[in-house]
Structure 1
Amino acid sequence: MPYFGSIDGTRLYYDVIGDEDLPPLVVLAGGPARHPEYLGDLAGLSTVRSLVVLHQRGVGRSEPSPEAETACWPELAEDVEALRDALGLERIALLGHSAGTRVALSYAARYPDRTERLCLVTPPATWLVPVPSDAAAIVESHRGEPWFDAFDTARTRFTDALSARDLIDLFPVIAPIGWARWDDTARAHEKIGAWNAEAQDLFSATVDAADLRARLAAVSGDVLVVAGEQDGVTGLAPVVALAEIFPAGRAAVIAGCGHYPWVEQPEEFSRVVREHLA
């Protein structure tokens, strides 16, 4: 079974999707603290890379963290480093989605020489780049759709939620803002991958954004930032701006999708990411 011990002895698990003889791609799910099964095989990336999908502490088959200090997103980078060591790799290719991109960024900042290449899929970025979010305008463009009134009623409760459990209870009403089309495909996908409230409550942390940007500027490997043109969760402008932090960063904007481009636009998502990984 693919378990390994992290730096503090916590027993963590990872899935291997695809041919293990292919070059590995370490994958970090979002949520935060969402079971990574919602990622699937990322629109067929498992045919070009062996996907090594880490289960976050307290999520899926991984043990919870014994101390809160080791479960916040900057410190979860040390689990990625322990996984790299367990895999016997000198450098890793790393892909993160949504909240998982925070962990990926922390890892790249701490271990730039061990980051071969980085792929950040629909990353929340307003906390890191001084670019106003256009998420509200994207959400407003959906006004009049059948789901919008229920969302509009719930959004204040979502903003004022005091715990992850409160947020998770509201996710079904908030979920449509992450999609270009709230259709049967979107509704079915939102049911995949449960959130762990305890791990989610431990995920948050405050960091010095200016210091982190400076350290990310030392990441020399290729960096791809994938943005969904209609992502009401992250907006578009801050996501695109994130790529400018990196010396070898570029942004790919995928039209006709929101927060889950491998679901809404699998062919285009696969094309741009495969090109990056080649």
Structure 2
Amino acid sequence: MPTFRTYDDAELHYRVLGPADSPLAPLLCLAGGPGRDAAYLGDLGGLSGRRPLIVPDSRGTGGSPTAADPSRYAFPHLAEDIEALRAHLGLERFALLAHSAGAAVAQAYAAAHPQRLTRLVLVCPGSRLQGELPDDAREIFAARRDEEWWPEAAAAVRQLAEATDLDEVRRLLLTAAPLGYGRWEEPQRAHAATQGEQLGPVPRAGFWQGVDEQAMGAVLEGLRRVECPVLVVTGDRDGMAGMRAGELVAESFPHAQVRPLHAVGHYPWVDEPELFGQVVEEFLHAS
């Protein structure tokens, strides 16, 4: 697995998926979680068949070592790791895709280095950075109460609020997993089954640590200067982030559009891989 040296001389890992001889520019892809192994992104529903995907392992996940300084897990610092990776790859400008909590890293990067981005794709982002936590995710989840898995998933969600044992947390997350998908069939079950082993409790805990209102305000101010086109993808069955959060994120940029996908949850490339790939590629190719 290739590596790069970041700003504090940490050696971090990344993967390159897809054709090395592709005429298309690479797409750098950030995982969410926060602190989840980027393996859950897979090939993003076949996007790697169209263009190279560069997928870094953030600190303490995948092949990348834990951070000697816990403050390095905070998302503004993770954004500077992305800038080090860009320089390592020799990319003057590039397109960036980020999922879920990874969208906070992407926004911090865009605010600090707006001139480096050609396109930005934010998939099912939350809106904690924007200072609002809409309730529509709960409404989406509640609207599916007639599905077979719902009673156990609802109970697991309630228990997660007080669970501290890591094995118990993993069990409850798997039980609650259907709320993150548009449907609960074999591809979704297989994808959800990997979540427990991919958790990074320490990177997760450090993601928002030390990021105060002033720091978040500086990021939001920087987003107003981002000139590249921005696509925010949401799913109308996303019981984790909902759809309103994506709208709030889009409103933070001067040139953003929201693309809601039907019958899709928090992992669009799992629920509707062909549709997801088509939407992303059309945006990347748009003039």
Q: TM-score, with normalisation over the residues of structure 1?
A: 0.93
Correspondence 1:43-192 to 2 at 5 A: 43-128=45-130, 130=132, 132-161=134-163, 167-192=169-194
Measured after TM superposition, the shift of residue 223 of structure 1 is: 0.6
Query: What's the secondary structure of 1:124's corresponding residue?
Result: coil
Matched, 1:200 2:207: no
Which residue pairs with 1:232 in the alignment?
A: 239
Structure 1 unaligned regions, length at least 5: none
Counterparts of 1:270 and 1:165, CA distance in 2: 34
Q: 1:254 aligns with which of 254, 257, 261?
A: 261
Correspondence 1:16-27 to 2 at 5 A: 16-22=16-22, 23-27=25-29
CA distance change for structure 1 residues 168 and 8 in 2, over 3 Å: closer, same or farther?
farther
Counterparts of 1:149 and 1:71, CA distance in 2: 35
Alpha carbon RMSD of aligned pairs, Å? 1.9
- CA offset digits 1:120-179 (Å, max 9, x no partner): 011112541647331111010111322222222222332344587764442112211111
Is the CA contact (8 Å cut-off) linking 1:12 and 1:62 kept in structure 2?
yes
Counterparts of 2:126 and 2:163, CA distance in 1: 19
Query: What's the secondary structure of 1:276's corresponding residue?
Result: helix
Matched, 1:218 2:218: no
Query: What's the secondary structure of 1:26's corresponding residue?
Result: strand
Counterparts of 1:69 and 1:275, CA distance in 2: 38
CA distance change for structure 1 residues 189 and 5 in 2, over 3 Å: closer, same or farther?
same
The letter of the residue matching 2:124 is T
Counterparts of 2:199 and 2:11, CA distance in 1: 19
Query: What's the secondary structure of 2:77's corresponding residue?
Result: coil
Measured after TM superposition, the shift of residue 186 of structure 1 is: 1.0
Q: 1:243 aligns with which of 250, 260, 263?
A: 250
Query: What's the secondary structure of 2:199's corresponding residue?
Result: coil
CA distance change for structure 1 residues 164 and 237 in 2, over 3 Å: closer, same or farther?
farther
Counterparts of 2:72 and 2:133, CA distance in 1: 30
Measured after TM superposition, the shift of residue 266 of structure 1 is: 1.4
Structure 2 unaligned regions, length at least 5: none
Measured after TM superposition, the shift of residue 230 of structure 1 is: 0.9
Measured after TM superposition, the shift of residue 111 of structure 1 is: 0.9
- CA offset digits 1:185-209 (Å, max 9, x no partner): 2111112352122222222233434
**Is the deviation greater in 178-187 or in 146-155?**
146-155
Aligned length: 278
Is the CA contact (8 Å cut-off) linking 2:31 and 2:37 kept in structure 1?
yes
Query: What's the secondary structure of 1:273's corresponding residue?
Result: helix
Counterparts of 1:222 and 1:49, CA distance in 2: 19
Is the CA contact (8 Å cut-off) linking 2:156 and 2:173 kept in structure 1?
no
CA distance change for structure 1 residues 164 and 248 in 2, over 3 Å: closer, same or farther?
farther
Counterparts of 1:132 and 1:104, CA distance in 2: 21
Query: What's the secondary structure of 1:116's corresponding residue?
Result: strand
